Amino acid sequence: MQRICFVLQVKKDRLEEYKERHKKVWPEMRDALRDTGWHNYSLFLRDDGMLVGYVETPDFQKALDGMAGLEVNARWQREMRDFFEDAQGRDADRQMAPLEPVFFLE
Amino acid sequence: MQRICFVLQVKKDRLEEYKERHKKVWPEMRDALRDTGWHNYSLFLRDDGMLVGYVETPDFQKALDGMAGLEVNARWQREMRDFFEDAQGRDADRQMAPLEPVFFLE
């Protein structure tokens, strides 16, 4: 099991809307995440828009690739695209670079 | 069970040493964390020194307070103090402000 942490940047003027949207993530999007290996998945938001993701998965690259192949994810990422800062215009799920794990306690 | 995420800033010129120290956290420090309710606790480091903590605990304030009362933690925090940026000179465990949870998938 890999424990993965990544950081993204939500636009400061879209924070409230971002939070609202994440209270009602489509059930088919939640199912897709579960089916592609996303477990114990949390998102946390700092008031300056820094978004931290934490997820447990057998293989993070597989989890990303699994989602990348699904129509429901394409639709979700399209709707989310304008919430994120990214100079290169990538969707959020293409920016999820894992941070280095430095400590773990069971 | 609360899922807590916090962010700290390690000094850029101390990253390697910080990582080394966290490969050999004292067993009595690990025991103290466990005994005061720190479970599934990970630390992740970005190459600019941003440190992300994720922990599951019945009550985060209790977990912080529990550690704050222990001699082993006072020793550990004293040794860690110079690794962290903090304008107010607080120990790392006094800077662990939880980020807002905005999404969760079991």
Question: Which residue of A15, A24, A54 to mutate against B (max B Cβ within 10 Å)?
Answer: A54
Helix (H), strand (E) at residue B76: helix B71-80
Give this prediction's pTM.
0.95
Average pLDDT over residues B76-80: 93
CB atoms within 10 A of CB A94: 13
Closest CA to B72 of B18, B32, B36, B25: B32
pLDDT of residue A48: 95
| Structure tokens belonging to residue B58 | 């019945």
Q: Who among B47, B52, B98 is closest to A5 (CB)?
A: B52
Amino acid letter, B46: R
pLDDT for res A34: 98
Task: Dump the DSSP string for A64-98.
Answer: HHHHHT-HHHHHHHHHHGGGB--TT---GGGS-PP
pLDDT tens per residue across span B18-39: 999 999 999 999 999 999 999 9
Name the residue facing A7 among B38, B46, B98 (closest C-beta). Answer: B46
Q: Higher model confidence: residue A106 or residue B89? A: A106
Report the percentage of chain A scoring pLDDT > 70. 99
- What pLDDT score was predicted for residue B91? 81
Name A8's Cβ contacts closer than 8 Å, sequence gap at least 6. A50, A51, A53, A84, A92, A95, A96
- Tell me whether residue A22 is one of the annotated catalytic residues: yes
CB pairs under 8 A between A and B: 102
Is the per-residue pLDDT at A71 higher than 90?
A: yes
Q: Tell me how many degrees the CA angle B67-B70-B72 measures, rounded to the nearest 5.
A: 100
Domains in chain B, CATH or no CATH each: 2-94 (3.30.70.100)
One-letter amino acid of B9: Q
**Complex prediction ipTM:** 0.94
The whole-number average pLDDT for the span A21-26 is 97
CB contact under 8 A, A42 and B104: yes
- Please state, in angstroms and rounded to a whole number, the distance separating the CA atoms of residues A57 and A24: 23
Rounded Cα distance, B99 and A50, in Å: 9
